[in-house]
């Protein structure tokens, strides 16, 4: 049995959607046995996958091949995770990921004045 790489990555819950898995493969962020791989390539048992997720490289060894979605607990049984723990974000990076200016839900579109203030904040 062979399964496309992007489909397996989604079934194993490495990526939330198959589209994101496909994009990661096309951008060269996924390697199989040390070589960049396209999303349509088949996955086989024993393959070593290296997936770059921002500042963390996840290393997985394929143990089982499935092409249908499985429960989250069963998804972890599809691979051996050889990567270390995910690195902590430094406090400055955590602040940078927050929204620029939080708005109350239902407050509608920003006025012209509020829009100018937001764009001034973004320029800094």
Summarised one tens digit per residue, pLDDT across range 84-96 is 888 887 888 777 7
pLDDT tens track for 27-50:
999 999 999 999 999 999 999 999
Q: Compute the mean pLDDT over every residue in the chain, rounded to the nearest whole number.
A: 89
pTM of the model as a whole: 0.72
Distance CA 62, CA 80 (A): 7
Same domain, 28 and 69: yes
Same domain, 43 and 97: no
Task: Give the per-residue pLDDT at 80.
Answer: 94
Same domain, 69 and 108: no
Same domain, 36 and 57: yes
Same domain, 71 and 98: no
Domain ranges, residue 119: 92-123
Residue 3 sits at φ, ψ, to 5 deg, of -130, 145
Does 20 score more than 90 pLDDT? yes
């Amino acid at each position: 049995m062979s399964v496309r790489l992007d489909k397996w990555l989604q079934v194993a819950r490495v990526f939330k959607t198959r589209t994101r898995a496909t994009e990661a493969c096309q951008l060269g962020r996924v390697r199989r046995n040390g070589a960049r791989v396209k999303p349509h390539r088949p996955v086989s048992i024993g393959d070593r996958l290296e997936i770059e997720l921002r500042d963390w490289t996840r290393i997985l060894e394929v143990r089982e091949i499935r092409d249908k979605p499985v429960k989250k607990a069963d998804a972890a049984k599809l691979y051996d995770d050889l990567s270390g723990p995910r690195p902590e974000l430094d406090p400055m990076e955590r602040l940078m990921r927050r929204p620029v200016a939080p708005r109350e839900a239902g407050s509608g579109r920003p006025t012209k004045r509020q829009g100018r203030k937001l764009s001034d904040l973004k320029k800094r």
